[in-house]
């Protein structure tokens, strides 16, 4: 496996992101990065980003969790942020991303009683981890995400996004993030999203991730996702659905999760107003407050 590692100087002067990076080894000889906020002995809340962002996305969520006495841990998925980047797209599979992230959370960090927060691909990975290791998980938060099995068609806007990523001669990371926001991103924030990728050779992860989403029933990841659904529907863990009011990609998943997963019953599920797909950008502090209230009350 040919592995690229983004030079640290690319991450200088990140706006509103003062957290020192931490690193741990995971399967296949890779190194993953993460940042923390809040007391080390607080209940762990793991924040998993999606395509094509990184832990920087949670910079306005983390202070709210820390203020509530929680240990916020924002992870960089393999291929993103400060984590190692396999240069060959074929090295990225859904199963590998689940295993790499599981290795970080449970083998390297030894976490238990975890609240798993997933948005976009962070949910596709986090929901699998929660279903496959329920003994390590206390709660789950789904924020603009889902767990596709290929049995239900994806919306047309998602196919447009997938094709754009596959065909773009130059993948404009900051533009993709901006397209998923309702607010206008300042130049320094756009630069922060571009920072992990000095050139196109570093972008195998963002390039391939849309292609790894199961869109047909015979997709290699479909059986594992169906098995995860079977667990999640009856799992006795509090499950918060915290979607925005303006996400055309995953918005349709919210009612499905609320109807299907028993852990959602008896909870007040917030709708984050005025936010797009990247609700952490548009309303990060509000999302953080909702997650903190959920964790401290369940």
Active site residues: 120, 247, 277
Could you give the CA distance from residue 208 to residue 155 in angstroms, rounded to a whole number?
19
Record the tokens describing residue 188, joined without a space: 């320094």
Read off the DSSP letter of residue 108.
Answer: I
Record the tokens describing residue 195, joined without a space: 């920072």
Torsion, CA 7, CA 73, CA 32, CA 180, rounded to 10: -70
- Residue 281 burial (C-beta neighbours within 10 Å; 0-12, 13-18, 19+): buried
Record the tokens describing residue 18, joined without a space: 């003062």
Give 171-178's long-range contacts (Cβ < 8 A, gap of 24+): 171/52, 171/197, 171/200, 171/203, 171/206, 171/207, 173/52, 173/197, 173/203, 173/206, 176/51, 176/52, 176/206, 177/52, 177/53, 177/278, 177/281
Could you give the CA distance from residue 193 to residue 35 in angstroms, rounded to a whole number?
16
């Amino acid at each position: 496996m040919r592995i690229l590692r983004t030079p640290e100087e690319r991450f200088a002067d990140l706006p509103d992101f003062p957290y020192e990076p931490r690193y741990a080894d995971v399967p296949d000889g890779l190194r993953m990065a993460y940042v923390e906020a809040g007391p080390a002995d607080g209940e762990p809340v793991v924040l998993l980003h999606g395509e094509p962002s990184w832990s920087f996305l949670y910079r306005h969520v983390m202070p709210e969790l820390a203020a509530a006495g929680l240990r916020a841990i924002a992870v960089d998925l393999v291929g993103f942020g400060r984590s190692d980047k396999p240069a060959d797209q074929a090295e990225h599979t859904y199963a590998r991303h689940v295993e790499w992230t599981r290795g970080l959370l449970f083998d390297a960090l030894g976490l238990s009683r975890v609240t798993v927060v997933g948005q976009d691909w962070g949910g596709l990975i986090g929901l699998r981890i929660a279903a496959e290791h329920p003994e390590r998980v206390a709660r789950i938060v789904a924020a603009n995400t889902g767990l596709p099995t290929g049995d239900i068609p994806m919306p047309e806007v998602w196919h447009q996004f997938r094709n754009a990523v596959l065909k773009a001669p130059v993948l404009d990371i900051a533009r993709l993030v901006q397209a998923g926001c309702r607010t206008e991103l300042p130049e320094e924030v756009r630069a922060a999203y571009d920072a992990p990728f000095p050139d196109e050779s570093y972008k195998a992860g963002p390039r391939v991730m849309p292609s790894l989403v199961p869109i047909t029933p015979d997709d290699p990841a479909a059986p594992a996702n169906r098995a995860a659904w079977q667990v999640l529907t009856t799992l006795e863990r509090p499950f918060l659905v915290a979607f925005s009011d303006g996400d055309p990609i995953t918005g349709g998943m919210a009612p499905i999760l609320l109807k299907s997963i028993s852990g959602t019953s008896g909870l007040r599920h917030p709708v984050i107003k005025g936010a797009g797909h990247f609700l952490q950008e548009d309303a990060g502090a509000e999302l953080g407050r909702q997650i903190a209230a959920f964790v401290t009350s369940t």
